């Protein structure tokens, strides 16, 4: 049996006025996703359990069949797995975004999608500036970085994800709890360093946004995930451009395929991802493809770009994989957005997203396209959401 899971991050949405009161999934040209939905099971899945912040980390962990109540310790520890970081027992791992704050508001949680060379240079400067605070910074992808904080066993903080407070006043969202003063001091010192750094001067001259601050969040201590092959008897591989999904895959013992041109943004090379996934299919039992673009388009508040991203995912990734799978005697394919990311709010939502899967021995035929309203209409709702993986894999996967 060959399995494919496609994770179009943030694909679902609310009806949008500029799209005539329709959602991006309803407007996008997605004949291949529609085929899977019509010829298989279509429903909704609770990816974000009550009490958790809706985000890729919790939601994708659930889609991979791992209970967030048991395994989730924070976003940053999962990304640390992707980086192969060794963490001391006294350290806490933070996600460290480069952001743009203006007039006290979260103007841009990506600092203008800072380039990798500029981000690397700023991370090096932060390490030099803040080593006396017990900080170790590690470069990630663009604005997405990590910080390890030593002597931090007594920290107990609540920190807001910056992508959930786009355009909002940040005063109410600074870190709260035990250790707040120390973390705020680190962020304030970073702000002063960034003000006069050569990277800032260069970017001010050419870019509308630049890194004015760092934002620390997603903190936690290392987590240990169950091995996927041991659990399911399947060898899996993950294709993604973001460390959170890399970390989940590696933490479960899956392989990674890095694709040149895969950026984790709306300019990603969809075709290259599709080709890499098709090429991987003969060598693995399960191929997972994660695409960030629709999520990023929604964070930008750009409905048209989100429609374009979904159409390209369908054309360049779902279509070629569906064609390749049909050459095998036994196969299944799952389309599973992690959570809604709404253009109106530019943030994530905990509303259960739609999913669909089709293939060998899938007897349910919904006859409906892949949209939010059609998924609701089937009446199929998976709660808890962690059951979706076993449901998709079926007896052959165990």
Nearest one of 317, 332, 327, 333 to 278, comparing CA atoms? 317
Residue 124: CB partners within 8 Å, gap ≥ 6?
Answer: none
Mean pLDDT of all residues in 294-321:
97
The reported pLDDT for the residue numbered 28 is: 98
On whether residue 77 sits in a domain, the answer given is no
Statement to judge: residues 384 and 360 lie in one domain: yes
- Boundary residue ending a domain (164, 192, 220): 220
Mean pLDDT of all residues in 117-141:
96
For residue 19, report the phi and psi dihedrals to the nearest 5 degrees: -105, 20
The domain of 115 spans 82-220
- Boundary residue ending a domain (163, 192, 220): 220
Q: Where residue 64 sits, what CATH number does that domain have?
A: 3.40.720.10
Strands 341-342 and 213-220: unpaired
On whether residue 336 sits in a domain, the answer given is yes
Q: For residue range 173-230, what is the model confidence (pLDDT) as tens digits?
A: 999 999 999 999 999 999 999 999 999 999 998 888 999 999 999 999 998 999 999 9
Statement to judge: residues 54 and 189 lie in one domain: no
Statement to judge: residues 281 and 391 lie in one domain: yes
Statement to judge: residues 68 and 114 lie in one domain: no
The three-class DSSP label of residue 2 is strand
**Residue 288: how many CB atoms within 10 A of its CB?**
29
CB 96 within 8 A of CB 147: yes
On whether residue 12 sits in a domain, the answer given is yes
Which pTM was predicted? Answer: 0.90
Statement to judge: residues 357 and 268 lie in one domain: yes
Q: For residue range 258-268, what is the model confidence (pLDDT) as tens digits?
A: 999 999 999 99
Statement to judge: residues 206 and 92 lie in one domain: yes
What is the residue-wise DSSP string for 251-302?
A: HTT-EEE--TT--SSTT--HHHHHHHHHHHGGG-SEEEEEE-HHHHHHHTT-
Statement to judge: residues 373 and 289 lie in one domain: yes
Statement to judge: residues 171 and 51 lie in one domain: no
């Amino acid at each position: 049996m060959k399995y494919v899971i496609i994770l179009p991050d943030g694909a679902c949405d609310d009806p949008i006025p500029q799209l005539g009161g329709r959602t991006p999934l309803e407007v996008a040209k997605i004949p291949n996703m529609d085929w899977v939905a019509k010829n298989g099971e279509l429903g909704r899945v609770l990816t974000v359990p009550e009490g958790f912040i809706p985000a890729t980390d919790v939601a994708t962990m659930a889609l991979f069949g791992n209970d967030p109540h048991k395994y989730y310790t924070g976003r940053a520890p999962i990304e640390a797995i992707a980086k192969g970081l060794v963490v001391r027992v006294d350290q806490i791992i933070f996600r460290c975004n480069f952001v743009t704050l203006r007039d006290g508001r979260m103007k841009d949680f990506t600092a203008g999608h800072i380039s990798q060379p500029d981000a690397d240079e700023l991370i090096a400067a932060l390490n030099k500036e803040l080593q006396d605070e017990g900080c170790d910074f590690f470069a990630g992808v663009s604005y997405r970085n990590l910080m390890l904080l030593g002597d931090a066993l007594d920290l107990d903080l609540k920190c807001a994800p910056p992508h959930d407070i786009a355009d909002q006043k940040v005063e109410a969202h600074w870190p709260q709890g035990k250790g707040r003063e120390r973390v705020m001091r680190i962020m304030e010192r970073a702000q002063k360093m960034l003000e006069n750094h050569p990277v800032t001067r260069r970017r001010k001259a050419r870019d509308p946004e630049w890194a004015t601050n760092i934002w620390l969040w997603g903190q936690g201590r290392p987590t240990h995930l169950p091995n996927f092959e041991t659990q399911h008897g399947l060898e899996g591989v993950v294709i993604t451009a973001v460390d959170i999904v890399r970390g989940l895959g590696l933490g479960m013992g899956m392989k990674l395929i890095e694709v040149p041109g895969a950026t984790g943004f709306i300019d990603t090379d969809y075709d290259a991802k599709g080709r890499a996934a098709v090429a991987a299919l003969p060598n693995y039992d399960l191929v997972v493809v994660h695409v960030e673009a629709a999520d990023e388009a929604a964070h930008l508040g750009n409905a048209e770009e989100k429609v374009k991203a979904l159409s390209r995912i369908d054309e360049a990734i779902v279509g070629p994989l569906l064609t390749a799978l049909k050459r095998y005697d036994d196969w299944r394919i799952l389309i599973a957005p992690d959570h809604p990311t709404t253009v109106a709010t530019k943030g994530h939502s905990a509303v259960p997203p739609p999913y669909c899967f089709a293939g060998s021995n899938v007897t349910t035929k919904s006859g409906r396209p892949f949209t939010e309203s059609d998924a609701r209409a089937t009446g199929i709702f998976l709660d808890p959401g962690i059951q979706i993986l076993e449901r998709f894999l079926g007896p052959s996967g165990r």
